[in-house]
Amino acid sequence: MNLEDPSASFPDIRQSVKKLCSDFPGAYWRALDREREYPTAFVQALTDAGYLSVLIPEAYGGSGLGVAAASAVLEEIHRSGCNGGAAHAQMYTMGALLRHGSEAQKQKYLPQIASGALRLQAFGVTEPVSGTDTTRITTFARREGDRYVVNGQKIWISRAEHSDLMLLLCRTQNRDDVEKKSDGISVLIVDLRDAVGRGLTIRPIRTMLNHATTELFFDNLEVPVDNLIGREGAGFKYILDGMNAERILIAAECIGDGRFFIDRASRYANEREVFGRPIGVNQGVQFPIARAHVELSAAALMVQRAAEMFDAGLPCGAEANMAKMLASEASWRAADMCVQTHGGFGFAEEFDIERKFRETRLYQVAPISTNLILSHVATHVLGLPKSF
């Protein structure tokens, strides 16, 4: 039985991440947020310190740690008021390549991803029409000799403008021509440095948070057949493992956000005096802060459990989903509480709370929305009838 307090795991990692983050205070993030600019210096600092290669085995130049250690990194980034969204995918997108790529592909890419010379932090799944119903994607890679010719469209593909490579999920057989609807889907490595302007157009989408997300248009983009990961048509299952890692790591970011909001609210409630006493004396102010802490602590236990199961190689689809749902809801409630505790100042840019409030809201929608998690739990865990 693991009795460790989740917030105390990997103390050395947490301490040094916190130190790195202290060089990137609120003013840094506010300036970027205003212009919707990418945090290049922050991502470079994380790369130089080796945090983005923690999941890559030592044999390929990484530190060979697990999702639990990576979660500690991301949680501390978010607790410090920073945002890991600009770079978290550099940690886990390579998972499909690591688990299902050929040795030649791994040798070619992983050491360079580990050093940061290559950025693989774009993952192209979502399409405007298919939405969450991934087997209905229609972006199609048609084989012509030693190349695939790709046509179609993707939406909400984050960091595509700040990535050298992208993992692209596309159909290599139409949905109507396969027995199982998840068959006929493949994963390609797209070299964005060659692709842009030669069949790929990237169009940024401005959103309520600074997330560098984009829309992609494929018009006869040629991709070498050598860039296929694993077997043609078997790509759907290759991405499922990676999705569990992604959900756990994003849940850890939510835990970090929640701790940020609770830290800030506790501090402010102790300092701010109204009616001649700190507002935190009032139970109407302190109970919501305490409740946020209780809810976040419970969610953190689920994140820890999911991470440990993933690292032990156990099936953890349910736990990864439950962790993401609980953590994203707990961080959102903590965000709301934090705004309320700050009164008018909760809305002031310079307090960073409204920015973090907008940022943490994303995680109830992406990378998977709450309803889809509930549907997974209902049908896969509880045996209820499928609704789709």
Ligand X SMILES: Cc1cc2nc3c(=O)[nH]c(=O)nc-3n(C[C@H](O)[C@H](O)[C@H](O)COP(=O)(O)OP(=O)(O)OC[C@H]3O[C@@H](n4cnc5c(N)ncnc54)[C@H](O)[C@@H]3O)c2cc1C
Chain residues binding ligand X by CB under 6 A are: 123-126, 131-132, 156-158, 207, 211, 213, 362, 365-369, 371-372, 375, 387-388
Q: Quick one: tokens of 324?
A: 């993401």
Interaxial angle between packed helices 283-311 and 317-342, expressed in degrees from 0 to 180 and rounded to the nearest 10: 160
- Shortest approach of ligand X to residue 10 CB, angstroms? 26
DSSP string covering 134-148: GGG---EEEEETTEE
| b/e 317-339 (16+ beta carbons within 10 angstroms → b) | bbbbbbbbbbbbbbbbbbbbbbb
- Shortest approach of ligand X to residue 140 CB, angstroms? 17
User: Would you say 330 or 362 has its CB closer to ligand X?
Assistant: 362
- Shortest approach of ligand X to residue 130 CB, angstroms? 7
- Shortest approach of ligand X to residue 39 CB, angstroms? 15
User: Would you say 68 or 125 has its CB closer to ligand X?
Assistant: 125
Is the Cβ–Cβ distance between 302 and 323 less than 8 Å? yes
- Shortest approach of ligand X to residue 240 CB, angstroms? 14
User: Would you say 104 or 208 has its CB closer to ligand X?
Assistant: 208
User: Would you say 13 or 245 has its CB closer to ligand X?
Assistant: 245
CB neighbours (10 Å) of residue 185? Answer: 26
- Shortest approach of ligand X to residue 30 CB, angstroms? 19
- Shortest approach of ligand X to residue 209 CB, angstroms? 7
Is the Cβ–Cβ distance between 202 and 211 less than 8 Å? no
Q: Is 109 helix (H, G, I), strand (E, B) or coil?
A: helix
Is the Cβ–Cβ distance between 283 and 290 less than 8 Å? no
User: Would you say 82 or 157 has its CB closer to ligand X?
Assistant: 157
Measure the CA–CA gap between 192 and 189, rounded to whole angstroms: 9
Q: Quick one: tokens of 296?
A: 């976040």
Q: Is 340 helix (H, G, I), strand (E, B) or coil?
A: helix
- Shortest approach of ligand X to residue 222 CB, angstroms? 22
Q: In terms of Cα–Cα distance, which of 72, 67, 96 is closest to 84? A: 72
User: Would you say 118 or 289 has its CB closer to ligand X?
Assistant: 118
Which single residue is written with the structure tokens 């048609």?
142
**C-alpha distances out from residue 126 to 93, 116, 296, Å:** 15, 26, 29
User: Would you say 163 or 227 has its CB closer to ligand X?
Assistant: 163
DSSP string covering 83-102: -GGGTHHHHHTTHHHHHHS-
User: Would you say 46 or 243 has its CB closer to ligand X?
Assistant: 243
User: Would you say 108 or 376 has its CB closer to ligand X?
Assistant: 376
**C-alpha distances out from residue 251 to 7, 115, 208, 214, 258, Å:** 13, 26, 20, 23, 10
- Shortest approach of ligand X to residue 132 CB, angstroms? 3
User: Would you say 127 or 311 has its CB closer to ligand X?
Assistant: 127
Type of residue at 13: I
E strand or H helix at 162, and its extent?
none
Q: Indicate the residue whose CB is closest to ligand X.
A: 131
Alpha helices (H) in 181-227, listed in sequence order: 192-195
- Shortest approach of ligand X to residue 372 CB, angstroms? 5
Is the Cβ–Cβ distance between 64 and 5 less than 8 Å? no
